[in-house]
């Protein structure tokens, strides 16, 4: 399929074909599995070198405890210029963000990866990064040009305040580019400012697809960019986040008849929750890791209808099974006993009369509040990302009724309540188990996010689960 959009006064048609073969979907699934379950533990080498004599003498319970780690969750509004010869020259989007720095796994807003080698001042990672394709909003659902680039990153960090990144990345169809970036960290106390300079070489294959839009050949060239990110600490765990980036487009791109700008500008502004820098990191957290096994049923009802106990039954009985791993990040937020987790999982959509098997990957930050009376029970809420290799039937039909093209990547919400089994049925080890219910929700945030396809709607599943702390 070749979608198109009107361009400028000449009303030229811009083509941006997308490919989504089963082979590409399989590659995406494998890479996403590596990212999602890269949270399961530290690098063996890192654990061996970081362990102190005191840590080696810890009891088994202490060894199983987690330490507080760097994390963050929030959102920004992104505004960007459109480099093409279109009548609209600016576009805005709502962008949820997740941050996490583990021993081998990391999420840094628009990118995530798994470190596989750390010799000296160097670290080498498999990296995935979201890239925006900026076109007028009215064509973003049809084209859905935002994509993820995957590849390798080598980071050299001779000083804590300075690092250099070298990257080789490509999209699912092999359109490749190569980056060199230097970043400086300036810490003023309340603000962390990271100015950077970047050089990117784009191949002719890349430029012809993303700037020539397969209407004209565009040779390889080099972009030069300057920018900065800012994290400003307001109070406790509350932050303002911002970023700016200006890119001077390469000579070949500037010579394309479809491009009429020399520069491409981006601005991000938002905020969120993260570590409280006024408190020392805890060496041992109260909350423990968990595995959650669940099964549930689709409903065509909205999230609001479910909350009001008005959920309708799916006539085709579509079902979903999930397994989640919860990695403790902190056990306190704003002075309250709120447990915060990196909540990553895998879902299996079962075959039915209207859909085939499908797989789902989820990464989120989840908060729990434990109520100790009359027995222990927990309320939970999560925010993150969900990607499916095939759109579930209940989601496809609900979005189709509104005239949208569905998106594989959507925002993820998770609302849960569970009870401690040990408080109900006392027994050896029973206090480690929780029985619960949660709503598995995928949505696109009311047409506000271009990387979610600029759509409105999604899907809901009502799930029951058994969770074990360890």
In this structure, the answer to whether residues 270 and 312 fall within a common structural domain is no
Q: What angle do CA 215, 218, 222 make, to 5 degrees?
A: 145
Residue 64 lies in a domain: no
In this structure, the answer to whether residues 302 and 269 fall within a common structural domain is no
Nearest CA to 1 among 405, 426, 280, 327?
A: 405
Q: CA dihedral in degrees (437, 467, 371, 40; nearest 10)?
A: -120
What percentage of residues in the chain have a pLDDT greater than 90? 68
Average pLDDT score over residue span 316-338: 94
Residue 26 lies in a domain: no
Check residue 58 and give its pLDDT: 40
232 token code pair: 């400003």
Q: Where is pLDDT greater, at 53 or 328?
A: 328
In this structure, the answer to whether residues 258 and 317 fall within a common structural domain is no
CA distances from 24 to 239, 366, 393 (A): 38, 30, 21
Nearest CA to 51 among 283, 234, 237?
A: 283
Structure letter (DSSP) for residue 136: -
Nearest CA to 3 among 454, 443, 445?
A: 454
Q: What angle do CA 455, 460, 465 make, to 5 degrees?
A: 145
Structure letter (DSSP) for residue 68: -
The partner residues of 187 in beta bridges, in order of sequence, read 192
For residues 350 and 353, give the distance between their C-alpha atoms in angstroms, rounded to a whole number: 10
For residues 323 and 329, give the distance between their C-alpha atoms in angstroms, rounded to a whole number: 19
Which helix (H) or strand (E) is 421 found in, with range? Answer: helix 421-424
In this structure, the answer to whether residues 298 and 216 fall within a common structural domain is no
Check residue 55 and give its pLDDT: 37
In this structure, the answer to whether residues 296 and 169 fall within a common structural domain is no
Check residue 15 and give its pLDDT: 52
Per the structure, the complete domain to which residue 87 belongs is given by 4-10+71-274
Categorize the per-residue pLDDT at 146 as very low, low, confident or very high, splitting at 50, 70 and 90. confident
Check residue 279 and give its pLDDT: 85
Check residue 324 and give its pLDDT: 98
> Is the pLDDT at 243 greater than 50, yes or no?
yes
Q: How many structural domains does the chain have?
A: 2
| 362, HSE (Cβ side, Cα atoms, 13 Å) | 28
Check residue 51 and give its pLDDT: 35
Check residue 411 and give its pLDDT: 92
- Mean pLDDT rounded to a whole number for the chain: 86
For residues 41 and 104, give the distance between their C-alpha atoms in angstroms, rounded to a whole number: 8
How many other β-carbons are positioned within 10 Å of the β-carbon of residue 280? Answer: 8
pLDDT digits 0-9 by tens, 386-400 = 999 999 999 999 888
In this structure, the answer to whether residues 160 and 217 fall within a common structural domain is yes
Q: What is the CATH number of the domain that holds 188?
A: 2.40.230.20
Check residue 402 and give its pLDDT: 83
In this structure, the answer to whether residues 154 and 203 fall within a common structural domain is yes
* Cα dihedral across residues 150, 151, 157, 163: positive or negative: negative
Final residue before a domain boundary, out of 274, 300, 335: 274
Q: Which residues of 368-392 are buried (b: 16+ CB within 10 A; e: fewer)?
A: bebeeeeebbbebbbbbbbbbbbbb
Check residue 164 and give its pLDDT: 98
Final residue before a domain boundary, out of 274, 302, 327: 274
Residue 55 lies in a domain: no
For residues 440 and 297, give the distance between their C-alpha atoms in angstroms, rounded to a whole number: 10
Check residue 14 and give its pLDDT: 45
pLDDT digits 0-9 by tens, 192-232 = 999 999 999 999 999 999 999 989 999 999 999 999 999 99
Q: What is the CATH number of the domain that holds 457?
A: 2.40.160.20
Check residue 64 and give its pLDDT: 54
Residue 374 lies in a domain: yes
Categorize the per-residue pLDDT at 41 as very low, low, confident or very high, splitting at 50, 70 and 90. very low
Compute CA 152 distance to the chain's CA centroid, rounded to the nearest angstrom.
Answer: 18
In this structure, the answer to whether residues 331 and 264 fall within a common structural domain is no
> Is the pLDDT at 149 greater than 70, yes or no?
yes
Residue count of the chain: 470
Q: Could you tell me if residue 11 is left (phi over 0), alpha (psi between -120 and 50 degrees) or otherwise beta? A: left
Final residue before a domain boundary, out of 230, 249, 274: 274
For residues 118 and 157, give the distance between their C-alpha atoms in angstroms, rounded to a whole number: 11
Check residue 259 and give its pLDDT: 95
> Is the pLDDT at 23 greater than 70, yes or no?
no
Residue 190 lies in a domain: yes
Contact indicator for 42, 121 with CB cutoff of 8 Å: no
């Amino acid at each position: 399929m070749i979608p198109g959009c009107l361009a400028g006064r000449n009303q030229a048609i811009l083509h941006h074909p997308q490919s989504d073969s089963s082979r590409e979907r399989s590659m995406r699934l494998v890479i996403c599995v590596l990212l999602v379950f890269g949270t399961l533990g530290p690098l063996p080498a890192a654990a061996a070198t970081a362990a102190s004599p005191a840590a080696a003498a810890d009891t088994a319970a202490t060894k199983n405890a987690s330490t507080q780690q760097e994390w963050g969750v929030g959102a920004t509004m992104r505004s960007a210029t459109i480099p093409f010869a279109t009548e609209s020259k600016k576009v805005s989007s709502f962008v949820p963000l997740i941050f996490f720095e583990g021993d081998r796994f990391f999420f840094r807003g628009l990118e995530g990866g798994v470190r596989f080698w750390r010799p000296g001042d160097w670290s080498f990672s498999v990296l995935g990064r979201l890239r925006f394709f900026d076109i007028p909003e009215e064509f973003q659902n049809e084209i859905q040009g935002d994509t993820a680039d995957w590849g390798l990153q080598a980071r050299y960090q001779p000083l804590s305040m300075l690092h250099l990144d070298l990257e080789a990345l490509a999209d699912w169809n092999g359109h490749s580019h190569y980056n060199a970036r230097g970043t400086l960290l300036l810490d003023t106390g309340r603000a962390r400012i990271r100015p950077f300079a970047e050089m990117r070489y784009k191949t002719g294959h890349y430029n012809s697809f993303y700037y020539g839009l397969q209407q004209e050949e565009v040779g390889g060239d080099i972009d030069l960019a300057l920018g900065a990110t800012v994290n400003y600490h307001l109070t406790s765990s509350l932050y303002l986040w911002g970023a700016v980036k200006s890119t001077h487009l390469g000579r070949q791109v500037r010579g394309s008849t479809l491009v009429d700008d020399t520069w491409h500008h981006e601005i991000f502004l938002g905020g969120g929750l993260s570590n409280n820098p006024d408190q020392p990191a805890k060496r041992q957290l109260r909350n423990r890791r968990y595995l959650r096994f669940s099964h549930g049923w689709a409903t065509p009802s909205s999230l609001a209808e479910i909350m009001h106990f008005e959920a309708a039954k799916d006539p085709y009985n579509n079902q979903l099974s999930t397994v989640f791993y919860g990695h403790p990040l902190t056990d306190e937020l704003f002075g309250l006993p709120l447990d915060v987790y990196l909540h990553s999982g895998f879902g299996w959509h079962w075959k039915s009369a209207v859909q085939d098997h499908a797989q789902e990957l989820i990464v989120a930050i989840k908060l729990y509040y434990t109520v100790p009376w009359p027995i222990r029970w927990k309320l939970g809420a999560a925010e993150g990302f969900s990607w499916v290799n095939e759109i579930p039937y209940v989601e496809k039909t609900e979005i189709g009724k509104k005239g949208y093209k569905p998106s594989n990547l959507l925002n993820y919400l998770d609302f849960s309540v569970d009870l401690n089994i040990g408080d109900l049925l006392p027994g050896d080890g029973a206090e480690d188990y929780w029985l619960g219910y949660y709503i598995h929700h995928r949505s696109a945030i009311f047409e506000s996010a271009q990387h979610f396809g600029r759509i409105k709607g999604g899907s809901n599943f009502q799930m029951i689960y058994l969770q074990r702390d360890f």
